[in-house]
């Protein structure tokens, strides 16, 4: 029976590598998959899933208006799995469409993304995946400043922490740092001795 999986982690936790690994495993067995990503993430091009270690694949871009359910239902070949990258940027309707893909088409969906933004608030897509997912897993990584588990994302500009601004600002290692709770509130450059 198909399920909706939500796998979240901070920046640099290996979410995209996991997607590419899962896709490879299905395809090695001759089982087609659909790889999708948010249309907002254009770091490495439009409709591209790309890891920081250089692995990349073409993907179907998802806009907030896209009817994902109809798109999957009308495919010539039913996929064995739908893999979603950057799911935090999905709309509420996108997430409900993914649940319908699972419930009505019996196709498993694995959605990967961040849980919380740099202000420590849930993204829209993350919120609804937390509500609707059958299985929720954390992909762990460590804080950039210590050996504790990273649970938050610190946005920086010119090496200084930023706690206000637009929720969505596409960026990578130059902008976002995986950190533990302590270092989110007190990055080393801001700590008093």
Residue 157 annotated among the catalytic residues of the structure = no
- Rounded CA gap, 132 and 129, in Å? 5
| Beta strand pairing call for 81-85 and 60-62 | unpaired
- Rounded CA gap, 113 and 106, in Å? 22
**Marked catalytic residue, from 86, 121, 138, 174:** 86
Helix (H, G, I), strand (E, B) or coil at 128: helix
Residue 31, both tokens = 């089982």
Residue with tokens 């706690």: 163
Residues annotated as catalytic (active site), given as ranges: 86
């Amino acid at each position: 029976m198909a399920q909706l999986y939500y796998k979240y982690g901070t920046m640099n936790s290996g979410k995209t590598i996991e997607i590419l690994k899962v896709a490879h495993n299905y395809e090695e067995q001759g089982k087609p998959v659909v790889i999708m990503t948010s249309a907002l993430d254009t770091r490495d091009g439009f409709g591209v899933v790309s890891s920081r270690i250089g692995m990349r694949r073409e993907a179907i871009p998802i806009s907030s208006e896209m009817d994902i359910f109809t798109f999957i239902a009308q495919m010539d070949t039913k996929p064995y799995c739908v893999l979603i990258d950057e799911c935090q940027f999905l709309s509420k309707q996108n997430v409900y469409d993914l649940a319908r893909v699972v419930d009505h088409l019996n196709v498993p969906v694995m959605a990967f993304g961040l849980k919380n933004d740099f202000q420590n608030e849930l993204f829209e897509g993350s919120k609804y995946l937390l509500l609707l997912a059958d299985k929720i897993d954390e992909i762990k990584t460590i804080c950039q400043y210590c050996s504790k588990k990273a649970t938050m994302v610190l946005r920086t500009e010119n090496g200084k922490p930023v706690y206000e601004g637009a929720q969505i600002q596409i960026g990578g290692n130059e902008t976002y740092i995986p950190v533990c709770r302590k270092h989110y509130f007190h990055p080393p450059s801001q700590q008093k001795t």
